[in-house]
Amino acid sequence: MAVALRDAVVRRNGESPAVRSVGVVQVRWPGGGEEHLMVHGAVDEDPPSASADRLLRVSLREEVPLAQRYPKAGMLP
């Protein structure tokens, strides 16, 4: 999923010129082994960035099949 999200953000980043860079990292908690994705971005807007929010939401909704393969996946504000 990390690779799919990274690729989707790369394809769509031109639609959000205020987003300068995005990093997608797959992490695992040491104790239980739960896996998570962390997304960090550099944005030329004051927080909360509408451009970054839109880029991630559109990428997740239209390009990464979250609902089918990862029913517990979602975004934190």
pLDDT digits (tens, 9 = 90+) for 4-62: 888 989 899 889 999 999 998 888 888 888 888 888 899 999 988 999 999 988 888 78
pLDDT at residue number 19: 94
Cite the DSSP H helix spans in the chain: 2-12, 50-63, 66-69
Residue 56 or 63, more confident: 56
Instruction: Report CA-CA distances (Å) from 59 to 28, 33, 47.
Output: 23, 26, 20
pLDDT at residue number 43: 94
Q: Which residues contact 13 (CB under 8 A, 6 or more apart)?
A: 19, 22, 55
Torsion angle of C-alpha atoms 76, 11, 22, 73, degrees rounded to 10:
20
pLDDT at residue number 66: 62
CA-to-CA distance for 77 and 30, rounded, in angstroms? 24
